[in-house]
Structure 1
Amino acid sequence: MNAHWPFIPLWQRLTRYFSRGQNSLMLAAYAMISFALVEFILFHRHLPPERFYPVVLLLSMLLALNAAWEGLKRRWGEAAANRFYFAASSTLFLVVNYVGLDAGWTFLPFLLFVIASQAVVGLGVWRGLGMSLLLYLGWSGVLWLRGAALEHLLAQTSSILLGLIFTLVFSVVLARLADQMTRAERLAAELRAANAALAAAREREVALAAAEERVQLAREIHDGLGHHLTALNVQLQAAARLLDRDPERAAQALALCREEAQAALAEVRQSVALMRTNPLAGQPLPDVIAGMVRDFDRVSPLQACFTLEGNVGEVAPAVAMTLYRAAQEGLTNAQKHGQATQVTVRLIGAADSVRLEVINDGPPAPPVADTGFGLAGLQERAARLGGTLQAEPLPAGGFRLVMAVPRAGAVFKGGQNV
């Protein structure tokens, strides 16, 4: 069994080679022209030299023309090479038959089948059939010019016509098969290209998902852990100032620092475990934000208050998380940058949207030139949900952060927290 394995690739190559119509016809043409040449040399030496040797030369030229056809296609292009080949081979065929025909039997007329088959496969069905008909009429004219008797002319043309019809039917089938093979190869190439593009798209999708997850984690660290670390830093500074003159208040500040550190640790653990925090945990959004403002007022030197206007009701989880992060970012910025003494958080429910405002009373500030990572992240969150974010200094002093988001998250995709 193993001894036959080396022949399997050869058999596959031969099968693939002969499945192409032009390759099969090319080998058939070599065989028939070679047979005609050998037959003429062996059985027609009685012809005068001025007829015998030109036919041998012309048949050799026809054989060489077949061998050079593929090279001409690569050099001149298929259309120009086909025009030259069929014009030259038809001329050689007619001249060979005019010079080489005699009273005895000869294989020369059967070369018509070779050229007709090549024309159908190489030029297309209808052009090939038209050329075959013209070539048949030209060959019939050669017989007439050679002075063939009417009975001989009718017998020859009838037998050649029947053979030509059979050959053309076979050639049409072969041409259709060649077209199907070409189409199948093209579709296979397109499928391979599509598979390669799909694999590349999957790789890009994986890379994009990883990058988005990194950005998401960075936002969560900034919004959640950054808030606690900012409060912790403020309390540590207060404890350092009060340590000598008011140890009791310094101890209170340190106790608050311990609470903030524990909250920050819990935030980190939850982020690592879930790759995102969920401080809402099914609670109503106004209650969660109110609790955050109370905790901020307790641990921060700023006075913070929360007001609720309208009916917030049920909102999409992504909307609730985004508004929560906006309130967190507004409080953190007021404590870090605003030099404020008071900060107000307002949550306003409307029919189709929810609006959050965080306003502090810091000194007048120039227009915001760089929103920073936190505000840029909030801008992206709002845009994902079809909402808007405004962050600007107030003319009379202080800073205002305003986010308005559709209640259901109009353009939110996937139903997950952003």
Structure 2
Amino acid sequence: MLLLFSGTYFFYGDGPTEWQQVYIIIAMCLFVINHFARCVSSNRYFLWCTALDFLLATGFGVAFLGLGYPYELFYGIIGVTLLIGTDNKRILYVAAGLLVLVWSAILWVEISLIGSVHFLNTAINFGFVIFSALVGSLIRYFMLSRQKVGELYERLEESHQALREYAKQVEVLTAISERNHIAREIHDTVGHSMTALLVQLQAARKLQARDLELSEQALMRCEELARSALQQVRLSVRALREEEAQPISLVESVRQLLADFAEMTGVKTELQAQGQFSAVPESLKPIIYRIVQESLTNAKRHGNASSAVVRINSSEQEVLIVIEDDGQGVAEVVPGFGLINLRERVMELGGTVLFITQSGSGFRTEVCFPLKEQSWKFGGGGA
């Protein structure tokens, strides 16, 4: 556009004088050089290149002073370029001030030397400059909007990628959690049944030589235990919770557990329950059941206990479970899979667990669940 406007100066009126033609040619060459310099340097010399265009445009106003040539059109094109290239208000204010200053100076010189001004042409050209400035602003706004959309799209892609990675992590963690859940279920249910089954088999073997009838009864209980264990394996593999299928009270379920354990293993069991259990959350009831079940299984399997006492005290502030047996005990507690599972179950719900034992003095498990405030304790004998 700058070259086009420059070329039109050859055809105004009677044509430019010789020195004016020289200026037009030089200006056109500088416009071309300046354009390529701007392209090569990108935004590094943008303001300098724009300033050179402004000086060349002002040169047209001076070279063709008073002839009514529309040199203001150059300012319109330069204004579009400037507004596309920057949105720095300070630079734009300085550029606008220079334009008003130079334009006013040229008009004042025309009035002083010639005594007249082409007001209509000046007004039209001024309107073109304002229009060009608006166009430049709109183009820059469009460019920035497009750039912002591109950045948002890139961020969206990054977010999608992060979400996909997060989904994969959740899937892996879910699978691990499900495997741990199934492992717990198998250990808590099948392990408990296998312990009772082993005791019954040993009793049947001993009774076989003395009392066939009692031996047969023991073998029938073994068959029932085996079927129960098989069913429990199936339920565990399907990730079904045993407690969901047994909507009975906590005390009743624990009482039935102790009765069945005593019948199957010969271990004397006792349940002592105190307090209002209606305040115990539903999420705690199956955990308490598993804790008692695991403690009884360990009492028989590892401690060879002959009796066990279970105490459950419920208050508004907490639920306290104590399981104590008269087994062999150990000098130092080294948690196996069962005790680790028990501790993890308790900690997941903000409870505390304490294992107390001495060699030859039995084993005691104390578990406390706060009902109004959760807390975690570490160190010493607690977990």
TM-score range for the pair, normalised by the shorter chain length: 0.7 to 0.9
Percent of pairs with identical residues: 26
Q: Does 1:391 align with 2:352?
A: no
2:315 to 346, 350, 353: 350
Q: 8 Å contact 1:391–1:399 — kept in the other structure?
A: yes
Using the TM superposition, give the Cα deviation of residue 90 of structure 1 relative to its aligned residue in structure 2, in angstroms: 2.4
TM alignment of 1:336-415, pairs within 5 A: 336-369=301-334, 371-394=335-358, 397-406=361-370
Q: 8 Å contact 1:385–1:409 — kept in the other structure?
A: no
Which secondary structure state, in structure 1, belongs to the residue aligned with residue 246 of structure 2?
Answer: coil
Which secondary structure state, in structure 2, belongs to the residue aligned with residue 362 of structure 1?
Answer: coil
Partner of residue 297, structure 2: 332
Consecutive unaligned residues in structure 2, runs of 5 or more: 376-383
Q: 1:132 to 1:59 in 2, by over 3 A?
A: farther
Q: 1:379 to 1:58 in 2, by over 3 A?
A: farther
- How far apart, CA to CA, are the structure 1 residues paired with 2:129 and 2:141? 18
CA deviation string 1:339-396 (max 9, x = no partner): 3332222222223332221112223413324x23332332232233332222232477
Q: 8 Å contact 1:116–1:128 — kept in the other structure?
A: no
Which secondary structure state, in structure 1, belongs to the residue aligned with residue 41 of structure 2?
Answer: helix
Q: Does 1:82 align with 2:46?
A: yes
- How far apart, CA to CA, are the structure 1 residues paired with 2:155 and 2:109? 54
Superposition TM-score, scaled by structure 1 size: 0.75
Aligned length: 372
User: In structure 1, what residue type is equivalent to 2:339?
Assistant: L
- How far apart, CA to CA, are the structure 2 residues paired with 1:178 and 1:279? 61
Q: 8 Å contact 1:117–1:171 — kept in the other structure?
A: yes
- How far apart, CA to CA, are the structure 1 residues paired with 2:115 and 2:56? 25
Using the TM superposition, give the Cα deviation of residue 257 of structure 1 relative to its aligned residue in structure 2, in angstroms: 1.6
Partner of residue 20, structure 1: none
Superposition TM-score, scaled by structure 2 size: 0.81
Q: 8 Å contact 2:201–2:219 — kept in the other structure?
A: yes
User: In structure 2, what residue type is equivalent to 1:85?
Assistant: C
Which secondary structure state, in structure 1, belongs to the residue aligned with residue 319 of structure 2?
Answer: strand
- How far apart, CA to CA, are the structure 1 residues paired with 2:103 and 2:86? 20
- How far apart, CA to CA, are the structure 2 residues paired with 1:391 and 1:319? 20
Using the TM superposition, give the Cα deviation of residue 86 of structure 1 relative to its aligned residue in structure 2, in angstroms: 2.4
Partner of residue 58, structure 1: 27
- How far apart, CA to CA, are the structure 2 residues paired with 1:226 and 1:323? 17
Which secondary structure state, in structure 2, belongs to the residue aligned with residue 151 of structure 1?
Answer: coil
Using the TM superposition, give the Cα deviation of residue 95 of structure 1 relative to its aligned residue in structure 2, in angstroms: 4.1
Q: Does 1:36 align with 2:5?
A: yes
Partner of residue 73, structure 2: 110
Q: 8 Å contact 1:345–1:356 — kept in the other structure?
A: yes
2:64 to 96, 101, 105: 101
- How far apart, CA to CA, are the structure 2 residues paired with 1:393 and 1:81? 83
CA deviation string 1:320-355 (max 9, x = no partner): 101000001101111222233322222222233322
- How far apart, CA to CA, are the structure 2 residues paired with 1:224 and 1:345? 19
Q: 1:326 to 1:355 in 2, by over 3 A?
A: same
Q: 8 Å contact 2:193–2:228 — kept in the other structure?
A: yes
Q: 1:327 to 1:70 in 2, by over 3 A?
A: farther
1:310 to 275, 278, 294: 275
Partner of residue 85, structure 2: 122
Structure 1 stretches of 4+ moved >6 Å? 42-45, 143-147, 153-156, 408-411
Q: 1:390 to 1:169 in 2, by over 3 A?
A: same
Q: 1:363 to 1:399 in 2, by over 3 A?
A: same
- How far apart, CA to CA, are the structure 1 residues paired with 2:135 and 2:100? 17
User: In structure 1, what residue type is equivalent to 2:102?
Assistant: G
- How far apart, CA to CA, are the structure 1 residues paired with 2:350 and 2:255? 25
- How far apart, CA to CA, are the structure 2 residues paired with 1:170 and 1:139? 21
Using the TM superposition, give the Cα deviation of residue 277 of structure 1 relative to its aligned residue in structure 2, in angstroms: 1.7
Q: What is the RMSD computed on CA atoms of the aligned residues?
A: 3.5
Q: 8 Å contact 1:120–1:129 — kept in the other structure?
A: no
Q: 8 Å contact 1:339–1:363 — kept in the other structure?
A: yes
Q: 8 Å contact 2:3–2:31 — kept in the other structure?
A: no
Q: 8 Å contact 1:316–1:409 — kept in the other structure?
A: no
Q: Does 1:230 align with 2:195?
A: yes
